Amino acid sequence: MQYPFDEPNVQTSKKEPDLQERLAKAGSLEELREIHMRIIPMIQGLSASGHSIEYRYNMLNNMHDVLTRRAVSLAYDAAKKTFGEPPGGKLCFFSMGSSARHEQTVWTDQDNGLIYQTVRADEVEYRAFAEEFSRTAVQYLAEVGYPLCQGNVMASNCRWRHHEEDWREQLLFYLNNGSEENLKYMMIMLDTKQVYGVPALLFRLRKWFVHELHQRPMILKKMRELVTSHEIPMNMFGMIFTERWGKYSGRFDLKQGVFAPYINSIKILSVLYGNEAQSTRERILELNEKGFITLTETEQYLAVYDFLLELRLKHSIGLAETDDRLDYHLRLSEMEPKNVQELKRIMKQIKAIQKQTKKRGPSFEQSTGI
């Protein structure tokens, strides 16, 4: 299926292969950090060459994937030097959030976890290795340029580091105790991607989790209500509400104001219909392929997504010289008027998508199954 957003036939930036070659040979945290700092010129070169926002994000996130994998690999080697070769078992260090959805901007914080499998006789020893490995991996990622997660959603936090059986026990607790906090934890676990180790561990856990989720229709309903209850900050007259107090007073919160509500609406639609896709773009296309949204809706959804991605990327690049690179608050007065008008139109569309999401999904009077 072809869409008007497909990649045009354009020339690749000359900066691109040089940076990728350096990354392939990098063997230290210092080299990885320096490469991370060189991502911006690469992305600017791709933009100047006429590459689509989809292509630029794919290139950017492929770079992030390799950077994080190399840093975590170095952490694994460091843990082995401290503890020796770990006892028999397997592990999978995984990312969550924007990394798992393949939509990281230039600057992004950490969202990661660890799952491991070993015989119970070796678990105490392996758990100590897993803790050291996770702590070191989080530290190394920070040194490469990925700040610590302010919400502590990281493998160094024992909440996000478990034996395979303990992961299931914890997720069952969330599933059977559907508080708002637990719903948010479950939403986080719907976006996961292997970084280092055995991907089958993560695949098996996610497949089991989604199956269990579909056996609890009231939890699905609560998740849908949580996602669609977020108010888009614009009134009926087209006035966009900005932050009233604090550091970002007078600015518009792009992330929490529109981006998160949008991708979460797509995520919950994907879960409701039993889709397997992980990225937002793939989720939209799969919803269309399965007949749950029309071709017109698909094009609208992708256009909304691409516009928001473009805003996020441009803003992220502009933060290169600041100390707050995770900031997504826009000064609307500094945007081109046509982009502000387009943002307003997009916000209206997201409101409509939220309403559609409230109406969609299987009956909640009985289990949906999968």
The answer to whether residues 243 and 276 belong to one domain is yes
Is there a domain that residue 205 lies in? Answer: yes
Two structure tokens written together for 36: 């991370």
Domain that holds residue 264: 216-370
The answer to whether residues 231 and 92 belong to one domain is no
Is there a domain that residue 1 lies in? Answer: no
Q: What is the CATH number of the domain that holds 366?
A: 1.20.120
Report pLDDT digits (tens) over 318-330: 887 776 778 899 9
The answer to whether residues 37 and 169 belong to one domain is yes
Is there a domain that residue 341 lies in? Answer: yes
- Expressed in angstroms, the distance from the first to the final Cα of the chain is 26
Least confident of 7-11, 251-255, 267-271: 7-11
Q: What is the CATH number of the domain that holds 140?
A: 3.30.460.10
The answer to whether residues 297 and 287 belong to one domain is yes
Residue 285 pLDDT > 70, yes or no? yes
Report pLDDT digits (tens) over 116-171: 998 766 778 888 999 999 999 999 999 999 999 999 999 999 999 999 999 999 99
The answer to whether residues 67 and 184 belong to one domain is yes
The answer to whether residues 207 and 238 belong to one domain is no
The answer to whether residues 206 and 243 belong to one domain is no
The answer to whether residues 256 and 210 belong to one domain is no
State pTM to two decimals.
0.90
Please report the beta strands in 82-130, taking only residues with DSSP state E, as ranges in sequence order.
90-96, 112-117
Rounded to the nearest 10°, the torsion over CA 213, 216, 220, 223 is -80
Q: What is the pLDDT of residue 219?
A: 94
Residue where a domain terminates, one of 164, 185, 214: 214
Is there a domain that residue 332 lies in? Answer: yes
Residue 43 pLDDT > 80, yes or no? yes
Q: In which order are the strands placed within the sheet that holds 112-117? A: 161-163, 112-117, 90-96, 192-197
Share of the chain above pLDDT 90, in %: 75
Share of the chain above pLDDT 70, in %: 92
The answer to whether residues 95 and 137 belong to one domain is yes
The answer to whether residues 188 and 277 belong to one domain is no
Cα separations in angstroms, 78 against 29, 86, 111, 148, 298 = 12, 12, 21, 20, 46
